[in-house]
Structure 1
Amino acid sequence: MKYLEISSVFKHPTVPIRNELPVLPSSSSITTITNIDSIKNNRLFKVEVLNPFQNRWTIRVRIANKTPIRTYSNGDGQLFSCSLIDETSEIRATGFGNDCNRLEPILIVGNIYYITQAQIKYANKQFNTLNNEFEMTFNNDTIIEPCLDNIPSIPMQRLHFISINQIQDIETNSFIDVIGIVMSINDIIHGKSKQNKDYTKRDILILDRTGQIPVTLWYRIVRKNSNKTKGKLSIENIFQAENFQPSATRAVIMLKGVCVKDFNGGIYKYNYTKKQNKILSVSKDRTLSVLASTQLQIDPDLPIAHELRKWYLEEGMNIDMIDLTIQSNKHENISWKTFNQVAEYELNMPSAGNGEIFRIKAVCTFVRHDPVYKACTRYDCKKKLQDNNDGTYYCSKCDLNYEDFKLLYMTSILLSDSTGYQWVSFFEK
C-alpha cells in the first residue's frame, strides 16, 4: 500500500482553503451528452454546481455578453471575457494570450455552446460583477463546440433588478442590476486621476417608481457599449456634445453589474400620490459607477422596461422632485488646509471617484448683493437663462426657449485667509 505524505499536500495547494465544503451536484443537475463526439463521455453539469473541486464536467451555456479583446495594462498580452448563462446561474469566463486568440472568434453572443476542460477558481470581485462565487479561465485544454439544438429554457441574460430605494441598504462596492428612466445628464468633466491619467466622465440621473440616483459614466468604458440608433439616445452619443438633453419621451437605461458607491449625492426617495406629487423623504448617500464589466443598454426590449416607460408617461413625469440637501457625517475627520495648500495640491481638480474634501477657516471679505437669478423652469435644470429681448428666455443647457422662468437664490462671497483668497458660490438653501 502506498502512503501519501500529508505535509506534501499543503506545500502546493491548487485552490484556496475554505472553511465550508463544496456543494456536491444532485442527480438532477447532471445529464449525459450523446450528440457531441469529442466530449460525449463527460456529464452535463449545471453552472450553479460548478466549483474548483470538480475535474470532468461539461456545461451547455449561452454567451450573454463578450468584451472586446484588450491588452494587459502592464504588458503586450491580450485577453477577453464573456458571461456564460444556463437555466440555473451565470459565470464569467476569461481567455488569455493564445487561448484568447483561439477561442474569442468562435464565441458569438446569443449562441449556445458546450464547454469543457476549463479551470474553475474563486472569483476576483474586483473585476467580476456576476453573482457567482467562482469564475472560469480558458486554457490550452479547453474544448468549445456549438450546440445545434434550440434550447429556449436558457435565457438570453440573467437579470436581478434592484429598486432604487433598496440601494441604501446594500453595501458599498457591491454589484447590482438597475433599470431606470434617464432624467438628466450633467456637463462633461475632463480631468486627471490620482495616477495622472486623463479621463472623461459624465453623470446622469436615473429614476424608477421608488426614487432616483446619480450614475457616473466613464467614456473609456462606455464607448464600447454604443448602440447607436437613428433618432434614439445611445450610451456613446451622451459624450458627443457638451450640452446633451434627452427628448421629452425619456430613454430607459439598463445597467447590469453596476457598482454601488458611497458619495456626496445620493438616492432621492419619494412616496407618490396623485394628490401630493412630491418627495417625502431622503435616504443615505449612494451613487452608482459604471465599470469595465458593467453591461449597459438603452431602451432594452424587456417587459420591465416597457412597464417603467408606461408608468413614467402616465404618472412619473408629473412628480414634483423637491431639491433636498443630503446631510452626511462621514467626513468628520477630514483635514484642515489653507488656500495656498489647496492651490499647491490642486484639490480643485476633480479626481477619479469621489474628488477631494477638506476643511478651511477663512474670513468673508466681500458679499455680492444680487442673490436672485432667472433660471430654467425644468425641475432638473437650474441653468441661468439668457434674455432674448422678445419676451422669451433661452436655456443653453436644454437648448430651448421659454416664455417663463423661475427665480432661484444664488450669491457669491469672497473668502480670504493669510495665504490667499477664493470666490465661493451658494445656491438656494
Structure 2
Amino acid sequence: GRSSGILHTDNNAGGPATPIASITPYVGKWTIQGRLVVKGTMRFYKNQRGEGRLFSIDLMDSSGDIRGTFFNDDADKWIEFLEVNKVYRVQGGNVKPANKTFNQTKSEWEITFGRDTTFEPLDERAAPKVTYQFVKIDQVEQLDTGAIVDIMGIVQHADPLSEVTIKSGANAGNKISKRDVTIVDQSGKSIRLTLWDEAKDKVSENDNSAPVIAVKNCKVGDFQGKNVSTTRSSMVQVNPDMQEAHGLRGWYDFQGKNAAFTSVGGGGGGSMRDPRKTVSQIKEENLGHGDKPDYFTLRGWVSFIKRDGTWQYPANPSTKKKVIENGDQWLDESTGEMMAQCERRYILGAVASDHTGSSWVSAFNEPGIKIMGGKTADEIWEVQQAEGEGAFNGIFQENNFKPYVFKLRAKTEKWQDEDRVKVVVQEVSPMNFKEGSAELTNLIRAYIGNF
C-alpha cells in the first residue's frame, strides 16, 4: 500500500542534510533539514484540466528558504499533520523554477511534493531558529513597491476587523478578513501594517499592552501611502524571544511610549497623512474646485445619516453593479445575467461635523460598514424587513456622534446643470486620542520651529 510518508526515526538518520540554497533540479537526491516557517491555507483552483486544491509551505535552514506545494490527495494528506515552526527532515519532490508571482522566498526554485515525499519530525535542536533581516520603518519609504522585507515594530494601535471581497481569480467573490495596525520603532516613524486572513488574529484592538510584532516576508505597498502587508509567505510572531525584540521592548517602555511619531511617506490618491482640515476650511479654501481632487483628513463625528430609500442599492455580488428586481430574481442589465440573490451595498449620505461646522459627505460600502458599527447593508436590510422601522431607525441613531478620523476626497461635479463640490469618504477610522495627541505635539513642535 501507499506509504504514509510520516517517519519516526533518529535525528541523525538518513545521512547529511542538503543546504536549501544548494537545491536545484540538477541535484539528484536531496534531504532538507529545516524549519517550517509558513503554512498556507487550502486553496481551490480551476483550469482547463479541471478543478483542484492545493496548499503551500515555506521551509528554512541557515542557508535560505524555499517554497513547496502539495496538490489534491497529497494536500489532503499533509494539511493537518504539518505544523508551523516545527522542524522536519524532508525528502522527495520535483524541483522546478519558482513562480515569483506567488512565491516570495529567496530561492530561484520551488518544490512540488508528491506521493513519495516524506516528512520526519525532528527535535527542536536540529535546526536553527527563524532568521530575519529587519529593515527599520523609516527605510520602507525608499523601498520599491512590491519589495519583500522583514519588519518589526511595536503595535501602537489596532483597528477592528474588516472584510474585503476578492475581485479576481478562482476565489473571486469570496470575502477575506483583515486588520490594519499601526506599528512604530526607534526610527521615530510609524507605518500601517495590514494583517490578512489568519494573521489578523495575532493582535486585537482591545489589547493595550503595545506588543512587539515581527513579520517575515511582508510586502511593501503604495496604496494611499507607503505601507506593508502580510502575504501567503509571511510568518507573524508576537513578542518573539529574540534580541531585537527585547531591545525594542526596552526602548518603548522607557522612552518610545512618550515619543511622537510621524507616518512614512504619502502617495498617490491621498493618505491619512494628507493635510488636516476643518469643515470651515472646505469652503474657505475652495477645496474641490481645482482640476484634480483634493484629499484631506478631518477629525470629527457623524451627526446625521440619511435613512430614506437611497441608503443602499442591490448589487451583483461579482461585479458590484446595480441590479433590478425581475420577478423572484435579480437582473444585471450590464451583462444580462440573472441571479437568485443580490448583495446590498451602502451609498450613505451623512453629515460630518466638527467644531467649525457641518458638511454633507457620501460613504460607499467599506467606509459605510465602519460608520454603521460593523454591520453590512444586507444585515441592516434584514432588520428593516424582520423587525420594522423602529429597530431600523434605532441602528442609524445609535451610530451618530461617534468620533472618527475621515480621509475625504473633494471634487466639483455637475448636478442639474450646476457645479457642486462632492465630498466622498475614502477611509474612516475610530479616533485614536493617543495618536491624535502625538500628532498635535508634532504640529506644535513644527510651529515653534518656524520662529
Normalised-by-shorter TM-score class: 0.5 to 0.7
Q: Is the 8 A contact 1:47 1:86 kept in 2?
A: yes
Matched, 1:256 2:256: no
Alignment deviations for residues 321-344 of structure 1 (CA, whole Å, 9 cap, x no partner):
3589846599xxxx989xxxxx99
Cα 1:262–1:304, aligned 2, differ >3 Å: closer, same or farther? Answer: same
1:289 aligns with 2:289: no
* Between structures 1 and 2, the one with greater strand share: 2
Are the equivalent residues in 1 in contact too, given 2:88–2:120 (CA < 8 A)?
A: yes
What runs of 5+ residues in structure 2 fail to find an aligned partner? 1-9, 271-290, 294-311, 321-352, 359-400, 426-435, 444-451
TM-superposition CA deviations, 1:177-212 (whole Å, max 9, x none): 111111223465555454473454442211011121
Aligned residue for 2:284? none
Of 186, 191, 200, the residue aligned with 1:213 is 191
Instruction: Give the residue type in structure 1 aligned to 2:92.
Output: Q
Q: CA deviation at 1:257?
A: 1.3
**2:164 aligned with 1:204, yes or no?**
no
Matched, 1:143 2:134: no
Distance between the aligned counterparts of 1:107 and 1:261, measured in 2?
Answer: 31
Amino acid at match of 1:213: I
Deviation at 1:158, TM superposition (A): 2.3
Query: In terms of mean alpha carbon deviation, does 111-120 or 92-101 score higher?
Result: 111-120
Partner of 1:424: 423
**5 Å matches for 1:150-229?**
150=123, 152=125, 154-186=127-159, 189-192=162-165, 194-195=167-168, 197=173, 198-210=175-187, 211-218=189-196, 220-222=197-199, 226=201
Q: Is the 8 A contact 1:90 1:158 kept in 2?
A: no
Q: Aligned to 1:114, which of 89, 92, 106?
A: 89
Contact 1:175–1:260 (CA under 8 A) maintained in structure 2: yes
8 Å Cα contact 2:92-2:118 kept in structure 1:
yes
Q: Deviations over 1:8-48 (max 9, x none)?
A: xxxxxxxxxxxxxxxxxxxxxxxxx9954xx56xx632111
SS in 2 for 1:155: coil
- Give 1:44's aligned amino acid: A
Counterpart of 2:256 (choices 312, 316, 339) is 316
CA distance in 2, matches of 1:161, 1:94: 27
Q: Distance between the aligned counterparts of 2:412 and 2:80, measured in 1?
A: 60
Name the CA distance, whole Å, in 1 between partners of 2:78 and 2:193: 34
For the structure 1 residues 62 and 128, does the alpha-carbon distance in structure 2 shift closer, same or farther, using more than 3 Å as the test? same
Specify the SS of the correspondent of 1:44: coil
How far the C-alpha of 1:311 sits from its partner, in A, is 0.5
What is the TM-score with the length of structure 2 in the denominator?
0.54
Task: Quote the residue 2:338 is aligned against.
Answer: none
User: TM-score, normalized by length of structure 1?
Assistant: 0.56
Change (3 A) 1:201 1:73: farther
Superposition CA RMSD, Å: 4.5
> Partners in 1 of 2:143 and 2:162 — Cα distance?
28
**SS of 1:313's equivalent?**
helix
Alignment CA distance shift 1:142-1:370 (3 Å): closer
Other structure's SS at 2:125 match: coil
Counterpart of 2:194 in structure 1: which amino acid? T
Going from structure 1 to structure 2, the CA distance change for 1:124 and 1:311 (only over 3 Å counts) comes to same
How many Å separate the matches in 1 of 2:153 and 2:184?
5
**Secondary structure at the counterpart of residue 250 of structure 2:** helix
- Aligned 8 A contact 2:184 2:190 in 1: yes
Please give the per-residue CA displacement for 1:98-120, whole angstroms capped at 9, x wherever unaligned. 22233445434444333222111
Mapped partners of 2:22, 2:233: distance in 1: 23
Partner-residue secondary structure (3-state), 1:140: coil
The CA distance in 2 between the partners of 1:155 and 1:187, in whole Å, is 35
8 Å contact 1:77–1:96 — kept in the other structure?
yes
In 2 relative to 1, CA 164–123 (structure 1 residues): closer, same or farther, beyond 3 Å? Answer: same
Distance 1:116 1:411 in 2: 55
**What is the CA-CA distance between 1:295 and the residue it aligns to?**
1.9
Rate the CA distance shift 1:260–1:369 in 2: closer, same or farther, 3 A. Answer: closer
Unaligned runs of 5+ in 1: 1-32, 227-233, 239-243, 266-285, 338-342, 352-367, 374-394, 399-407
Letter in 1 for 2:232: A
1:142 Cα offset (Å) = 2.2
Aligned pair count? 295
Shift of 1:133: 1.9
Identical positions, percent = 27
C-alpha distance in structure 2 between counterparts of 1:124 and 1:104, whole Å:
21
1:58-77 maps to which residues of 2 (within 5 A)? 58-72=31-45, 77=52
